[in-house]
Amino acid sequence: MRLGLRLCSVRMTAELRHLRAFLAIADAGSVTSAAAVLRMSQPALSRTLRQLEAHLGVRLVDRTTHHLELTTDGRRFLDKAATAVAAVDEALDPARLRPWPLRLGHAWSAFGRHTTPLLRRWKETYPQTPLELLRVDERSAGLLSGKVDVALMRAPLIPREAEGLLGEWLCNEPRVAAVPADSELAAHTGPLNLASLAHHPIALNTVSGLTTLELWPEEIRPDPDAAVLVANTDDWLGAIAAGSAVGVSTSATAEMHPHPDVVYRPLAGTGDVPLMLIWRESPAGSGRPGHPAVPQLVRVALEVLAEDERGTG
């Protein structure tokens, strides 16, 4: 009698170590370097990566090129893996066990002149939940990388990045021009316009900023080769104060970053910039925020805005 052998395939369950391995490879740009960082052998790390790819059913890393690169699926998975690992590290951090802080990220200028009233109102109303205001020099203000729970954002996200995110519109901020205090532009008492800035080098925050040269119509677009590229608000202000460039931002920057060598002027002919509170929904996809205090933060922010409107109305 012949005995038939039944082969049973057991589906692997991905573990935290698989995510850490993938993140290390993506960060290091090679399996060899990542293996050294993780203090494991290269074959063991390659095997761990293959296990994760088998579990997901997609290839995350392109091994056919001379330099290791993430595939399209790998780039999509990168943010999810980083968020998951950050969430686990947060949950297992004894220092954050009690209370659970609410981390509010911003890339620049926070909540403008409403920042201090928001922080004070939160401390008075919810003293058991610390509100940590963090500047993160990323376009998403640390939300996509898992560094914060909720973010004040002005830069729009592309549709792929917006998956699994929820948000609340807070207000619209008018654009302003930032010019050196000793320049001819600063002597103007009225609003400036894009044409008046077009012949000057433009300071562009390429890491977390909102302004690009696309803001100008093509016929008056500033020379891209003359642009002064910076990575954060501090360097942006420094370039303008030194007379090396002019810049465009919103009224919140004028409120949060006064500078003796920089003059802010209203900028006519440009649309306002919407300010949003953005957060991740819970991993289960229930439509609820990942941090339980997010709804309270939204309510407090709207209350602060409403009080300001009544006070100036």
Quick one: pLDDT at residue 182? 96
Q: What is the CATH number of domain 16-91?
A: 1.10.10.10
- Asked if CATH classification 3.50.30.60 holds for the domain at 175-271, the reply, yes or no, is no
In the chain, list all ranges with CATH 1.10.10.10.
Answer: 16-91
Please give the mean pLDDT across all residues of the chain: 88
Question: 3.30.465.10, 3.40.50.1100, 3.40.190.10, 1.10.3720.10: which CATH number matches 98-173+274-312?
Answer: 3.40.190.10
pLDDT digits (tens, 9 = 90+) for 74-125: 888 988 888 888 778 767 766 555 668 999 999 999 999 999 999 999 999 9
Write the pLDDT tens digit of every residue in 128-152. 999 999 999 998 999 988 899 999 9
> What are the two backbone dihedrals, phi and then psi, of residue 131, each rounded to the nearest 5 degrees?
-105, 115
The whole-number average pLDDT for the span 227-245 is: 97
Q: pLDDT band for position 312 (50/70/90)?
A: low
The fraction of the chain above a pLDDT of 70, given in percent, is: 88
What φ, ψ does residue 291 adopt, rounded to 5°? -100, 130
Least confident of 199-213, 257-271, 281-295: 281-295
> Residue 141: left (phi > 0), alpha (psi -120 to 50), or beta?
left
CB–CB of 192/185 below 8 Å? yes
Residue 284 has pLDDT above 50, yes or no: no
Higher pLDDT, 41 or 280: 41
Q: What is the dihedral of CA 81, 87, 93, 98, to 10 degrees?
A: 180
Domain(s) of CATH 3.40.190.10: residues in the chain: 98-173+274-312, 175-271
Q: How confident is the model at residue 255 (pLDDT cuts 50, 70, 90)?
A: very high
**Between 281 and 226, residue with greater pLDDT:** 226
Confidence of residue 290 (pLDDT cuts 50, 70, 90): confident
* Each residue's pLDDT tens digit, 34-70: 888 889 999 999 999 999 999 999 999 987 766 788 9
CA distance 247 to 172: 19
What per-residue confidence (pLDDT) applies to 282?
66
> Nearest 5°: phi and psi at 133?
-90, 120
Please check whether residue 205 is in contact with residue 248, taking contact to mean a CB–CB distance below 8 angstroms. Answer: no
Tell me the pLDDT tens digit for each residue of 160-210.
Answer: 677 778 999 999 999 999 999 999 999 988 899 999 999 999 999 999 999
Question: Is residue 286 over pLDDT 60?
Answer: no
Q: Specify the range with the lowest mean pLDDT, choosing from 4-8, 75-79, 118-122, 238-242.
A: 4-8
